[in-house]
Chain A
Amino acid sequence: MAASPTVTVTPPAPEGGGPGGAAVPRGLRYANRSLALAGTTIIWVALLGPVIALLTHLSWHDIKASLSAPGAFEPLILSVESGAVTLGVLVLLGTPLAWALARGTLPFPRVWEAGVLATLLLPPLVIGLLLVFMVGPFTPIGHLLSGLQLSATNTFLALVIAQVYESAPYYILGAQAAFGGVDPRLEQQAALLGDPPRRVFRRVTVPLAAPGLAMALAISWARAMGAFGAVVIIAYHPTALPLQIWTTLQETGLFSALPFALVLLVVALPLPLAAYIWSARARGRRRG
């Protein structure tokens, strides 16, 4: 190469750039990146740690012993049933509220939102206590219920009420975000193309919000399945899955409770995972 002697070869600029990227020595940048990677790995492992612990401490023998006991699956069935009813209630009552919150059609929208947030911020145990004073047998609502031959203490109804209180804010806030992500101009366009509001909701709003709605629903399902704090106070009976874990732990110890923990995970997790995969795919389809 007949390069002129005055040409100086500058080292290639370090990739990534960033503010002052060129000024940071390569060694330091390498250390930074390794630290960040190590930090995220530690957090990730720590978060998943309990699940890993569960899987490493389970023995086949314990699972067989626990699950073959008479009535071992009744709490599971009860949990699934009450969870399904809870989801139905949430979709029926929570969707319109989430929609109204997202579109700001309610007067004093902040007040309504604060109400939803309050249920999220109250400790479940406190919710349980307060529910006793709200729907317990010696309250106006309790009287009304007993007039209908119903009771909201230690019944299926009580279980559903407790689960609704524990999972509702997750659904409502998630659905609010999902609806909020739908461009109102698209709904307007659909209306101008001849669709009355209800059909716009069905053809445009719900399909566009569906990935977010599915996630909200899945998270509230997991919350309802795992509801314990409020449930232990107003619905100790009939025994749902989390209470089964609690009572087994109290009566026969840690190792016989573990199989039920696995059952709870197996029941609670598939829906959120499926929803996650489905919404990721739906978003991918939209990108073409």
Chain B
Amino acid sequence: MLEADAEVDRRDFTVRAALTVAPGERLALFGPSGAGKTTILEMIAGLVRPRRALILLRGRVLTSTDKPVTIIPPWRRRVGLLRQDPGLFPHLSVRANLLYGRSGSDAEATAELRELAGVLGIDELLGSMPARLSGGQAHRVALGRLLLSHCDALLLDEPYTGLDASLRRTLTDLVVSLVGERGVPSILVAHELAEAQAFADRLAVIDQGEVLQDGEPGEVVLAPATRRVAELVGYTSFVPLGGQPGTPDGQVAAIHPDRVEAGRHPDRGLVLTGVVNSCRPAGALWEVTISTGTATVTGRLSEPVATRQEFVLTAVHPPVFGTGGELVADTPRPVGRGARRAGWSGAGSTGTGRTGTGWTGTGRSEAGWSEAGW
């Protein structure tokens, strides 16, 4: 168990973190560059001095600014840190690198080294020097070195940024399985959501040093706690709902480009009608921008559409935010049928106008999307 409750002063803001990571649990800290994610890791590793902190790892006090003041130096914390640069010692062979942080009997270490090298797929490289390794191999060795040192917590600071996608996936899967096997609490810092989700079973969204939301990886995307979180997890368009019957002024629906469908599906969410501004390929999809009159909405569709034409698309269960940016209605989750949440009190009117935000929930239920909802 890793428990950290701390504040660190940075030049422009204070990083506040209150995190608990259970043995074997994988927490991802997700946020934009400069949000203070790395600072949190460095504080846990003892490389940054906090203003106020209480950090516990497996019952040991690592840092305590309350009396009695305790600050365990990095070399006695047993915290493993993996960064983007694998940080292998260039003057030592792969084998010596792997055994660097290893104390204990030689026979035992050798046996464990051999087994781990097999799992990591680096048993052919033990005699090589680090300069000879590819990026992926170096990362495997760096991971093996941390695991052989028997650290009590694993901190991963965007380790696989810059590697190609398939390699990144392989390495992430490797970490996930090894961390689970060893029951080590681990924290990954990522500024790409997909990377964070691939790793974590819990996700914390961080911005300007504050934890904005802490939850399941899927929940954070489907029900962002605030408008800021929605922006960070990829919602690009915010459509004002003002003027719709029963909807208070100032509310906005957040549209995620990957959560739209072509056509009118009032039972699936918010129907938007507008004129297509542009349509261009984005990977295997087409990125379409439409103007609804009150907002510009971007969505990725599986088929191209003609520009300057009227087009109808449905934003699948968009979260709605109030004037203060707070979530007033989140989407019913795909899991748990009928797990409706209050807030869609405007449902009932039909789509209005050729161009505009068509608010077309069909049901009369106070809380639901529609009778035929989830």
Contact = CB atoms under 8 A, between A and B. Distances in A.
A169 B90 CA distance: 29
Residue of B73, B79, B101, B132 contacting most chain A CB atoms (<10 Å):
B101
B230 interface: no
Interface in B124-142: 128-132
B91 A207 contact: yes
Contacts, number: 64
A192 B72 CA distance: 12
B75 A191 contact: yes
B74 to A, nearest CB: 5
Residue of A189, A196, A197 contacting most chain B CB atoms (<10 Å):
A189
A188 interface: yes
B88 to A, nearest CB: 8
Contact of A285 (B89, B129, B146, B149): B129
Interface residues of B, number: 28
A190 interface: yes
Contacts of B80: 192-193
A195 B313 CA distance: 60
Task: Provide the main secondary structure of the chain B interface.
Answer: loop
Nearest to A185: B87
Interface in B173-202: none
Contact of A288 (B76, B77, B129): B129
Contacts of B306: none
Contacts of B73: 191, 196
A194 B89 contact: no
Given A185-B85, A186-B89, A208-B91, A194 B129 contact: no
Contacts of A185: 83, 85, 87
A286 interface: yes
B91 A192 contact: no
B69 interface: no
Interface residues of A, number: 23
Nearest to A206: B91
Interface string B44-64: 010100000000000000000
Nearest to A287: B131
Given A208-B90, A208-B91, A192 B77 contact: yes
A145 interface: no
Interface string A196-226: 1100100110011000000000000000000
A194 B87 contact: no
Interface string B104-145: 000000000000000000000000111110000000000001
B78 interface: yes
Contacts of B77: 192
B131 A194 contact: no
Residue of B73, B81, B83, B91 contacting most chain A CB atoms (<10 Å):
B91
Contacts of B90: 208, 286
A207 B93 CA distance: 13
Contact of A193 (B91, B130, B132, B149): B149
Contacts of B89: 186, 189-190, 204, 208
A190 B149 CA distance: 11
Given A194-B101, A194-B103, A189 B129 contact: no
B100 A192 contact: no
A103 B270 CA distance: 59
Contacts of B132: 287-288
B128 A188 contact: no
A288 B75 CA distance: 29
Contacts of A287: 129, 131-132
Contacts of B130: 288
Given A185-B83, A288-B128, A288-B131, A196 B91 contact: no
A194 B75 contact: yes
Interface of A: 183, 185-186, 188-197, 200, 203-204, 207-208, 282, 285-288
Interface of B: 45, 47, 73-81, 83, 85, 87, 89-91, 100-101, 103, 128-132, 145-146, 149
15 contacts: A186-B89, A190-B89, A192-B75, A192-B77, A192-B79, A192-B80, A194-B76, A194-B78, A194-B149, A197-B75, A200-B75, A207-B91, A208-B90, A287-B129, A288-B131
Given A183-B87, A193-B146, 9 more contacts: A185-B85, A190-B100, A191-B75, A192-B77, A192-B101, A193-B100, A193-B145, A195-B75, A287-B129
User: Which 4 pairs show the lowest CB-CB distances between chains A and B?
Assistant: A193-B101, A288-B129, A288-B132, A189-B87
